[in-house]
Structure 1
Amino acid sequence: MKHVTFFFYAIFILQNTCLIVQAQNTEQCNTIINFNDDVLFDTTAMFCQTVWSNKDYILRYAQAGSELWSFLLSAPNTNSWLGIGFSTTGQMVGSSAMVGWIYQNGTAIVKQYYLQAKDPDEVTPDAGELNVKMNATTVFTRSNRLYLAFQINTSQPRKQLLYAVGQYNRLPAASDGLKLLQHREQDSASLDYTTGQSETRSIPYTTIKRTHGALNMIGWGILIPIGAIAGRYFRQWDPIWFYSHAIIQIFAFVFGLVGFILGLVVEGFINAEITHHKNLGILILILGCLQVMAVLIRPKKGTKPRKYWNWYHHNAGRILIILAISNIFYGIHLGMEGSRWYSTYAVILALMLILAIVLEIRLCRQT
C-alpha cells in the first residue's frame, strides 16, 4: 500500500512540475516583460498580438517615430531560423523578410532576404525592399523562446505579413552564402496596425493545398500503380483480378479528379504561377478519362481490335503513371512541404517497385 501511495504521489509531483515548466515557457501578451536589456530600442509601449496561435508566435510592434516602426517577434526556440515577411499581395513571392537565428556557439545573425521565387536559390540574402535601420536589429533567447527584433524606416508598414519557421536543427551556413533553407511551416495574416487586429488567411489555403496533394498522391501516384500491378500479375485469379483492377482504378480516378479540382481552387486562391504543374495535371486527367472511356468500348477477346486496344490501354497507363509520379514530386517541390512528403512518397514508391520486380520475376519463371 505504501508503494502505491508513493507511486501516485510521484505522478502528482511530476505533473505539477511539468505544468510549472510549461507556464514558465509560455508567453502571453498580458505578461509584463522588460526587453530593454536585450533589444536596442525602447520596448515599453508596444502593441502585442498572438499572430500564429498554433505555433505560439507573438508579435509586438510600435510606431517609434513619424517614419520609424519597431518590431519584436517571438516563438518557441527549436534551433531553427525565425522569419517575418512583409508582402503587398499576401504571397511569399515578391516579399521582403527579416530572418534571425542563433548558432550553437552563440553567434546571432539577423538578415533581410528578398523572396524572388519559391525556390530557395531565388531567396536572396542582404536584399529586399525594407529600409532597415542600422544597428537596431538583434536576435536573442529567453525562457526557451527565440526573439527577433528590428526597426524599419517607413510611414506605414505593409499589412500583409508572412510568418515562417525553419527546419529543426538546420541553420543557414556561411559556407553556403547564408542561403535560407526551406521553411518547415508557414502562415500569413493581415494586420491592422491601428486596432491591432490580425486576420489569418492561410489556414484554409494550407489545408486545401495539402488535401490536393494528398488526394493526387493517393489517386494517381499510389492506387493507379497498385491497380496496374493487380492487372498484370494476378490474372490467374479470373475474374477476381479484373474486378479488383477495375475497382482500384475507379477509386484512383475519383481521388485524382477531386484532387485536380482542389488544385484549381488553390490556384485561384493564391494566384500562383504553376503553369507546368497545372498542364501536367490536365494531361494526366485526360489520360485518366481516356482510360475510363476505353473500358466502355473494350473489344471482345480474340478479335483483331482487341490487340490494338490492349496496346493502347497498357501504354497509356504506363505514361500516366510516369507523368503522375513526376508531377507529384514537382508539386511537393512547388508547395515547399519539406522532406517528410518527399521521403514518405519515395518509400511507398520503393516498396511498390520492389513488389513489382518480385512479381515480374515470378511471372517470367512461370512463362
Structure 2
Amino acid sequence: MYASSTLQLTQRERREMKAPPKYTLLFLIFNFFFSYVHSQASDSCNSPLTLPTPLPFDTTSLQCVSVWSAQSFILRYVQGAPNVWNFVLSAPNRNAYIGMGFSPDGNMVGSRAIVGWVGADATTDMKKYFLGGRSSDLVTTEPPNQGLLQIGNTSMVVQSNQIYMAFQLISDSPSTRLIYSVGQVGRLPSGSNFQLSEHQDMISTSLNFGTGQFQTQDSPQASLKRSHGLLNMLGWAILLPIGAIIARYMRNWDPIWFYSHAVVQSIGFILGLSGVICGLVLENRLNVSVSRHKGLGIFILVLGCLQVIAILARPKKTAKVRKYWNWYHSGVGRLLIFLAAINVFYGIHLGNAGSGWNAGFAAVLVILFIISLILELRLCLKK
C-alpha cells in the first residue's frame, strides 16, 4: 500500500513536470509578439536617436524631418561648423540601396548623390555618384574628396532592420533641392565600379534647412505619368463603358440616346488618344521597356479608330448588312472596353501607383457593372 501511494505520487509529479506552468504559453506568445514588433519598429522623429555604434559627429542637436513617408525616409541634419553639415538618413533595410542627392534644379540628372546599402554578408557600403544621364553607364562613382560634392566623415549603422547612413557635407550652403531614391529589391551596386541599377522609386523635394519645412516637387515625368494614367482610365475604361450603357439601355429616348452615345464616345476616344500620346512621350523620356503595356495600348487605339471608321460608314437601318454591322460594332466595342480595363490595371502595377488607384478604379468598374446588371434585368423583364 505504501509502495502504491509512492508510485501514484511519482506519476502525478511526472505529469506536473510535463505540463507547462500556468500562463507560460501566454507569456511565450506575448514575448514573441513583443520581440517581433520591436524588431519591425521603424525610425521616427518622435524617438531619440540611439545607435549601438557612435557616429563620427555629435548627434544631440540634429533636426529631424520625415522627408518621404511612403518609403519611411527620415532625415536628421545640423550645421556642425561654418562649412560642415552633418546628415543622417534612415530608412528600412529592404535589401535595396537608399540614396540622397543634391540637385541644382530638382531633377535627378545632373545631381550628385550619396548611396548606401547592406550586402548579403551584412557588410555596409556607401559611395558617391554623379548622375550624368538616364542610362546606367552615365551614372559614375566619384571619390569622396573630389567633385563638386565634398564629403567628410561617413558611417553606416544597421539597427532593428533599419539603415542609418551618416555623412558630413563640406559646404557653406548645401543645395535645398534634395532627391531621394530607393533601389530595386536584390539589385545592389555591383562590379568593380559599383554600377548603380535603375531606382525602384524616387522623389524630389525642397528643404528649408533653417525651419525644417519641405515640399515635394513633382518632376515633369511624374506629372506626365499621372496624366497618362488618368487620361487612359477616364477615356478608354470609364467613358466608353458609359457610352455603351447609353446605347444599349436608353433607346426609348430616340434620338437623344444616339447623340448622347456619340458625344460620350467621342470624348472618351479623344481622352484615350491623348493618354496614348502621353504614354509614348513618357516611354521616350524614361527610356524604359514596357512592350506589353505599350502593345496593348496601341491595339486598343486601333480598335477605337475602327469604331470611328465604322460610325462614318454606318449603313442605313433598312440595309440588309445593318444587322452584321451591329454585331461588328458591339463586338469590337466590348473587346475594346475589356482590354482597356486590363491595361489600366496593368499600367497601375507598372507605375507602382499603389493600392489606392487599384481600389478606386475597381470601385468605378463595380458601380458600372451593377448599373448594367440592373438595366439588363429590366430589359429582360420588359421583353
Normalised to the residue count of structure 1, the TM-score between the two structures is: 0.58
Q: Against the structure 1 CA distance between its residues 216 and 180, is the aligned structure 2 distance closer, same or farther, given a 3 Å change threshold?
A: farther
1-structure distance, mates of 2:34, 2:223: 32
Sequence identity, in percent?
35
**What are the superposed Cα offsets for residues 241-286 of structure 1, whole Å, 9 maximum, x if unpaired?**
xxxxx9xx9798356235258x39x98xxxx967999xx9xx9999
Q: Which residue of 2 aligns with 1:118?
A: 134
For residue 211 of structure 2, what is the amino acid of its counterpart?
T
Q: Against the structure 1 CA distance between its residues 95 and 217, is the aligned structure 2 distance closer, same or farther, given a 3 Å change threshold?
A: farther
1-structure distance, mates of 2:33, 2:220: 37
Q: Which residue of 2 aligns with 1:149?
A: 166
Q: Against the structure 1 CA distance between its residues 105 and 63, is the aligned structure 2 distance closer, same or farther, given a 3 Å change threshold?
A: same
Q: Does 1:38 align with 2:54?
A: yes
2-structure distance, mates of 1:275, 1:103: 28
Q: Which of 176, 179, 188 is equivalent to 1:171? A: 188
Q: Against the structure 1 CA distance between its residues 17 and 204, is the aligned structure 2 distance closer, same or farther, given a 3 Å change threshold?
A: farther
1-structure distance, mates of 2:38, 2:268: 45
Q: Which of 279, 290, 310 is equivalent to 1:295? A: 310
Root mean square deviation, CA, Å = 5.1
Structure 1 contact 90–162 (Cα < 8 Å) conserved: yes
Structure 2 contact 221–285 (Cα < 8 Å) conserved: no
Structure 1 contact 34–43 (Cα < 8 Å) conserved: no
Q: Which residue of 1 aligns with 2:74?
A: 58
Q: Which of 197, 201, 206 is equivalent to 1:181? A: 197
Q: Against the structure 1 CA distance between its residues 274 and 99, is the aligned structure 2 distance closer, same or farther, given a 3 Å change threshold?
A: closer
Q: Which of 150, 159, 183 is equivalent to 1:132? A: 150
Q: Radius of gyration: which is bigger?
A: 2
Normalised to the residue count of structure 2, the TM-score between the two structures is: 0.56
2-structure distance, mates of 1:131, 1:274: 26
1-structure distance, mates of 2:38, 2:201: 23
Q: Does 1:160 align with 2:164?
A: no
**What are the superposed Cα offsets for residues 126-175 of structure 1, whole Å, 9 maximum, x if unpaired?**
278543334x1122201210011111111111111111111112211125
Alpha-carbon distance, 1:31 to partner: 1.5
Structure 1 gap ranges (5+): 1-5, 221-245, 302-327, 341-367
Structure 2 gap ranges (5+): 1-21, 237-261, 317-342, 355-383
For residue 72 of structure 2, what is the amino acid of its counterpart?
D
Structure 1 contact 120–182 (Cα < 8 Å) conserved: yes
For residue 165 of structure 1, what is the amino acid of its counterpart?
V
Alpha-carbon distance, 1:26 to partner: 2.5
2-structure distance, mates of 1:181, 1:276: 13
2-structure distance, mates of 1:214, 1:190: 26
For residue 152 of structure 1, what is the amino acid of its counterpart?
L
Equivalent residues, number: 275
Structure 1 contact 36–42 (Cα < 8 Å) conserved: no
